[in-house]
Structure 1
Amino acid sequence: MKTSSSAVHPSLKLDRRVTTSSVIGTVIEWYEFYVYGTMAALVLGQLFFPSGDPIVESLSAFAAFAVGFLARPIGAAFFGHFGDRIGRKKMLVYSLVGMGAATFAIGILPTYATIGVAAPILLVLCRLIQGFSIGGEWGGAMLMSVEHAPEGRKNFAGSLVQVGSPAGLVLATIVVALVNMMPEDAFLSWGWRLPFLISAVLVIVGLFIRLKTHESPEFEKVRDEGERVKVPLLKTFTSAPLQVLTGIGLTLAPFVFFYFLTTFLLTFGVNVLQFDSQLLLWSVALAAGLEIITMPLAGLIADKYGRDRIFIIGAISLLLIAFPVIFLLVTNPGNPLILILVMIGAMTIVHPLTYALLSTMFSDLFPTNIRYTGVSLAFQFGGVVGGFTPLILTAFLTSDASSVLIAGYIAFLSLLTVLAGISTAVIGAKRRRGEIAEEVVLEGSVR
């Protein structure tokens, strides 16, 4: 797949139904995902892992949060295999149903006070189902949007899918913030369940839209020409292992920054930096709300000036701000202006330069007939690192050098993303010159 760096042609229109389906579907998926992350920081540790120590409870809740990420590569392999074999659309329907069912189940789970140790076990099981389902969501939604888009509009189409993440976060944060305003007794007894239960309505809306879309034309071309691969997972690891590793590297900086700002900071900010929980929630909502605007702008800029160039600039920027961000927060505890400055600067302005372009960066790494598998595996393995970020950073709080460790961890992963961005640019250039085959047609192909 070629990625154009030329100016956008106004006459090149996106398939509105497909793009809308992809965006709304990912908004719902990420809403369900972020509701758990936010509630883990606020209340799930107390309800499901009671110990009397807020840090220990947070560690336990974040451990359950991280466990869900372990299932994501398994889901990526499953959905990727069948997405490359039978089509993108069907697997997107199944992923949405699985994620919605698990999220709704969390909303009706009895707590530790009611059924004891069975409560955290059931919670972890729901997280595993969530992780498995989301393992196939992003890759399929991204491919449906990008593979339908014309050349010169692919970065913009991909960035619209990425809007699902901040939009889902805004929705989740607003809902959680509203229920968090309830009297404490009501919130702890039943109010915390509402954000999870609301997901059922969202899933019904998402399914209605998603079922009306049509299959990716690039997949249909591969299917019609008999170039589907029998075992896409095996072919991905045997023919494109470097691309998988490179794809993982692409996700590290955008993931670690996002989870630092939206999940870990809710614990770090309240317990260490003396920020009010409501201030933290609304600042996250503000920054993510603005990112809904800046994400597509990053895609438009990439279509005009070159995707690889913009991505690498974004990754370098994340590397450079790692230590200043931590320094500002630690030296200005409880300062709302500093918090908003950090949120908007890091999340709204810099973060989209990488995250918005992951769709086409990943697409350029893999040929069409193993693309669903390749992009899903790379994205979800990277997600494992991102998912463990709150747990790792919370563990750093036990050290006297916690600020340096936190900043150093973020900076190191950002450096890896810079290197991965450069590697992707090289791989894409080779494919465009014909040095890498556009399709993997080997002895295991379906003819």
Structure 2
Amino acid sequence: MSVTTDHTPQNPAASADPDAPQTPEQKKLQRRALVSSFLGSTVEYYDFLLYGAAAGLVFPILFFPETMDPTLASVLSFVILLAGYISRPIGGILFGHFGDKFGRKNMLFITLMMMGIVSVMIGLMPTYDAIGVSAPITLVTLRVIQGLAVGGEWAGATLMAAEHVKEKNRGFAASIAVTGGPTGSVLATLVLGLFAGLPDDQFLSWGWRIPFLLSAALVVIGLYLRYRVTESPDFVKAQAAGEVKTGVPILRVLTKYPKDTLFGILAGAGPLFMQALLAVWAVPYVAASGAVTRQEALMMLTASSVVHIFAIPFFAALSDRFGRRPVMLAGAVISIALIFPMFMLLNSGSFWLIAAAFMVGNPIIQASMYGPIGAFLAEKFEVEDRYTGVSLTFQMGSVLGAGTAPLMATYLMGMENGLGTTNIAWYFIFLIIVAAAAVFFSKETRKMHHTV
């Protein structure tokens, strides 16, 4: 572990004693930071995950030639999805650089604005029939911009929440921002699912566009909340103490924390794979089987995401009590034990068993290891390098896990051994073993102090 200095999060008006009672004003600032991080992250991930939900249902049909093989069109749509994940580390480094120099608040305002504009543009995009090859090219461009914005969003929102509270609550606070992911997924799949019930011609002509256009209203609310939140107390204190450096944060992260960075990346890849597998690949997969309709599959994902919202802070709170490593390692065991039962349920052909598969996958398998991830990553880096460090580790983990999930699932399903989802299960187990090893060889950081 590279961090050795004594650092405990404090609010601007907090006393030097980390256990001292908080004033009403301090509590108000904390609540505002938590709400702002949660709602801002929700809006951001609504925009980002809306593409994922549409990638298997809409884009292969509308943004590629009708003569193209449907499987190839789906693969290309997933490649564009991956492009957004690949650009996320770049966005993380970019916004992390300025977030570590000038503060978290302004960067979060910019990332949210970018996401809103891109989503509205996707909702207004002409199809392949209207503009030809320019349609998929434009889609790639917008997806990359989305990825840049999300790359700066996750770490900033997580830190704004975690750095406003006391050390003993840091895991839970960080998870409040993390739950913006499943909350955004709920909104994205719920809204898209409502319109997916339209006849195919109406859904494909205009129904799928409405959820993207609705993003504008959500962004206005998110921007208002972010305008009212105060800057991170940890950053303000670091700045006042002269700890904010003028160099290049990414270079410091790579040279000061090489093991922490590598372990952080590997620890996130496994649970993030499961998140994207269910959100992007599983919905069209079960719908194509004929066991459930497209709309029913989206509603199953939505229901599991609702439970997911509460499961993430539950496991994060456990990590505040028992430590990040024990909870995440237990989550790895749970993930390996339940992956084959999850696929058995998914392939059952039964409405209720398929719905149960989503419930096993999101709130249990994914959340058990993912819940503490915000604090686990944030505590690896000192304040002046934290935005960049958390952005880099999480977003690289996203590329390896979530970004490749639909493509890997499609490839593994098509393997000549005929094992189908069994191939996916074994690949997931491999990712979880790697993630567990990364957590095991990381030092416990729950009681380490990280403010200036």
Q: Calculate the TM-score normalised by the size of structure 1.
A: 0.91
Q: Which amino acid aligns with 2:441?
A: S
Cα-to-partner distance string for 1:114-168 (whole Å, 9 max, x where unaligned)? 0000000000000000001110000000000001111221111111112111111
Equivalent positions of 1:20-419 (< 5 A) are 20-50=35-65, 51-229=67-245, 230-272=247-289, 274-330=291-347, 332=348, 334-385=349-400, 386-399=402-415, 400-419=418-437
Distance change (3 Å), C-alpha of 1:2 and 1:419: farther
Q: How far did 1:95 drift? A: 0.7
Contact 1:107 1:193 in 2 (8 A): yes
What secondary structure does 1:226 align onto? coil
Is the 1:84–1:371 contact (alpha carbons within 8 Å) kept by the matching residues of 2? yes
Which amino acid is the alignment partner of residue 310 of structure 1?
Answer: V
Distance 1:11 1:272, change over 3 A: farther
Gaps of 5+ in 2: 1-6, 10-18
The one-letter code of the counterpart of 1:34 is L
**What is the total number of aligned residue pairs between the two structures?**
427
TM-score (normalised: structure 2): 0.90
Give deviations 1:273-295, integer Å, cap 9, x for gaps.
Answer: 74321221111111111122222
Aligned residue type for 1:207: L
* Whole-Å separation in 1 of the counterparts to 2:8 and 2:370: 19
Once residues 20 and 286 of structure 2 are traced to their aligned partners in structure 1, the CA distance between those partners, rounded to angstroms, is: 45
Query: Could you tell me the percent identity over the aligned residues?
Result: 37
Is this contact kept in 2: 1:273–1:329, CA < 8 A?
Answer: no
Classify the secondary structure of the residue corresponding to 2:163. Answer: helix
- Paired with 1:278 and 1:335, the residues of 2 have a C-alpha distance of 15
Question: CA offsets, 1:141-199, max 9 Å, x none?
Answer: 00000011112211111111121111111111110011111222111111111111111
Deviation sequence 1:384-414 (CA, Å, 0-9, x none): 1211110111122222233232111111111
Alpha-carbon distance between aligned partners in 2 of 1:277 and 1:136, rounded to the nearest angstrom: 32
Contact residue 69 and residue 387 of structure 1 kept, 8 A: yes
Tell whether the 8 Å contact from 2:175 to 2:372 is kept in structure 1 after alignment. Answer: yes
* Residues 11 and 164 of structure 1, relative CA distance in 2, 3 Å threshold: farther
Provide the residue aligned with 2:440 in structure 1: 422
The separation in 2 between residues aligned to 1:57 and 1:164, in whole angstroms, is: 30
- 1:216-251 alpha-carbon deviations (Å, 9 max, x no partner): 111111111111232101111111111111111121
* Higher mean C-alpha displacement, 14-23 vs 397-406: 397-406
Question: Which consecutive segments of 4 or more residues in structure 1 shift more than 6 A?
Answer: 9-12
Distance in 1 (alpha carbons) for counterparts of 2:383 and 2:414: 47
Distance 2:433 2:302 in 1: 28
Contact 2:304 2:359 (8 Å CA) reproduced: yes
- Helix, strand or coil for the counterpart of 1:89? helix
Structure 1 position 299, deviation (Å): 2.5
Q: Is the Cα–Cα contact under 8 Å of residues 171 and 375 in structure 2 kept in the other structure?
A: yes
**Structure 1 alignment gaps of length 5 or more:** 4-8, 441-447
Amino acid across the alignment from 2:230: H
Determine the C-alpha separation between the residues in 1 that align with 2:252 and 2:451: 11
Query: Deviation string for 1:305-356 (max 9, x for gaps)?
Result: 33321121112211222233223333x1x21122122111221233222222
Residue 300 of structure 2 aligns to a residue whose secondary structure is helix
Aligned-pair CA distance for 1:10: 12
Native 8 Å contact 2:8 2:167 kept in 1: yes
For 2:241 and 2:394, locate their aligned partners in 1 and report how far apart those are by CA, in whole Å.
Answer: 28
Q: Is the 8 A contact 1:2 1:364 kept in 2?
A: no
